[in-house]
A and B are shown apart, each in its own frame.
Chain A
């Protein structure tokens, strides 16, 4: 099994989205957490926030630096992962699972086609490093 789930779609900014019906679960990739190092803060939008594809939806902060999280898709935030507020280090441990960031109700589901597949993403990060 690949480290990068096949059912996810990926951005070049190292976010992932997993579409389930009309919602998308959003997170950052394992590659991103490795690049960031020890994550100490996660800033997430409030439930009800409208996010746009490619725009900042929050930030993650490591010991060394702060990085924007860019939304891979457009829609309304319907849930946020509250556990990351008190335990941001979970993002280093399980970025593709328990440490998802937000759940978004999609308002433009077609956007997903513009995102990278797991194998394209892995080629991309392979080429980047």
Chain B
């Protein structure tokens, strides 16, 4: 027997441990699942501000005269439509139309695309892109060059503004600026995975511990909380954002995952396009839909969904919703049933428990 590979650690690992976070193995990374408690952290982000270490996320960059063409060929959304300093959510697909990963594509310049990818997919993503790169462009794996901090919540802007001269209010949603935070070079993106306003800040790993501490200090007056992956999950689920390995994976296409908006079939050839065009033409057979439990019980990932006594689908994510005080989830159902108002039963520990499909997101912040 060989020893298991040691867990990977972010530059903030020692701080998490010092601060008493509960650590878990998250896809090979030693990450904080919670600090003060998932519900407490969740509310901090909805009502004030929370700080997440998401340095485990990967970075891949495409450089060269044909960086845009390369990124457009590899991803589902229209990279050519991005302006400098703009970002977009997108899909990295196999030829058969299933997800390799879901990603954030940032256009730094006409010859520089910066992509943020999921931690556990980063090696596979890099290989996938490199193998299919037939352009005058170089693909670089740069995860080691960045730590990433997410400052999220209605007071995120006021908090982060104390540490930068960049006028954060002028960065539009899904745009980014290269500037400084706490005197250190930083890529500041107005993006997030919580359904709140906020920023994702990419910095040099050696600057990360100091910036982490300074953000916590800056947010003190707003009751800032360091947050773990537990709250990150309940926050993204309330906002019905997909999580790789749950809502999406290699056997799921964006059209099934209710992500048709990130697929631009008319932009020209891209990996997976033919399969998606066929699906679009023939119609998909199953589709992602949200649900709320109507009877007592919490649906969990992988639980079966029944309709009229017959197996009909499966739960992709399920949890109590701290904001709504309901038990919510998402599931795949045959497309003809995947609309709001369908009564379903979730098999919870061998008991069918009543639930009903609903429109998503479950939670939407007031603008």
A residues with CB within 8 A of B = 34, 37-38, 40-41, 59, 61, 63-66
B230 touching A59, Cβ below 8 Å = no
A-B contact pairs, 17 of them (CB 8 A): A37-B22, A37-B33, A37-B34, A37-B230, A38-B37, A38-B38, A38-B39, A38-B40, A40-B320, A41-B297, A63-B39, A63-B319, A63-B320, A64-B38, A64-B230, A64-B319, A65-B300
A61 touching B38, Cβ below 8 Å = no
What residue of chain B has the Cβ atom nearest to residue A85's Cβ? B296
Given the known inter-chain contacts A37-B38, A38-B38, please indicate yes or no for A64 contacting B33, CB distance below 8 A. Answer: yes
CA separation between A66 and B297, bound complex, in Å? 10
Query: Would you call the interface of chain A mostly helix, strand, loop, or mixed?
Result: mixed
Asked if B298 lies at the interface with its beta carbon under 8 angstroms from chain A, I say: yes
Chain A residues with Cβ below 8 Å from B37 are 37-38
Query: Per-residue 0/1 for B48-70: is the Cβ within 8 Å of any A Cβ (1 yes, 0 no)?
Result: 00000000000000000000000
What residue of chain B has the Cβ atom nearest to residue A92's Cβ? B37
Task: Give min CB distance, A128 to chain B, whole Å.
Answer: 14
B349 touching A63, Cβ below 8 Å = no
CA separation between A117 and B209, bound complex, in Å? 42
Chain B residues with Cβ below 8 Å from A34 are 22
Asked if B205 lies at the interface with its beta carbon under 8 angstroms from chain A, I say: no
Task: Give min CB distance, B54 to chain A, whole Å.
Answer: 18
Chain B residues with Cβ below 8 Å from A37 are 22, 33-34, 37-38, 230
Given the known inter-chain contacts A37-B230, A40-B320, please indicate yes or no for A63 contacting B300, CB distance below 8 A. Answer: no
Asked if B234 lies at the interface with its beta carbon under 8 angstroms from chain A, I say: yes
CA separation between A48 and B36, bound complex, in Å? 38
Task: Give min CB distance, A119 to chain B, whole Å.
Answer: 24
CA separation between A34 and B35, bound complex, in Å? 11
Task: Give min CB distance, B28 to chain A, whole Å.
Answer: 19
5 additional A-B residue pairs with CB within 8 Å, beyond A37-B38, A63-B39: A37-B33, A37-B230, A38-B40, A41-B296, A64-B33
What residue of chain B has the Cβ atom nearest to residue A40's Cβ? B320
Asked if B192 lies at the interface with its beta carbon under 8 angstroms from chain A, I say: no
Chain B residues with Cβ below 8 Å from A59 are 349
Asked if B343 lies at the interface with its beta carbon under 8 angstroms from chain A, I say: no
Task: Give min CB distance, A46 to chain B, whole Å.
Answer: 15
Task: Give min CB distance, B196 to chain A, whole Å.
Answer: 18
Task: Give min CB distance, A126 to chain B, whole Å.
Answer: 16
User: What are the 8 A-B residue pairs with the smallest beta carbon separation, nearest first?
Assistant: A63-B38, A38-B39, A40-B320, A38-B37, A38-B38, A63-B320, A37-B38, A64-B230
CA separation between A59 and B37, bound complex, in Å? 20
CA separation between A65 and B302, bound complex, in Å? 13
What residue of chain A has the Cβ atom nearest to residue B229's Cβ? A64
Chain A residues with Cβ below 8 Å from B319 are 63-64
CA separation between A50 and B269, bound complex, in Å? 66
Query: Per-residue 0/1 for B17-35: is the Cβ within 8 Å of any A Cβ (1 yes, 0 no)?
Result: 0000010000000000110
What residue of chain A has the Cβ atom nearest to residue B39's Cβ? A38
For window 299-337 of B, CB contacts with A under 8 Å fall at 300, 319-320, 322
What residue of chain A has the Cβ atom nearest to residue B40's Cβ? A38
Which of B33, B34, B39, B298 is within 8 Å of A66, CB to CB?
Answer: B298
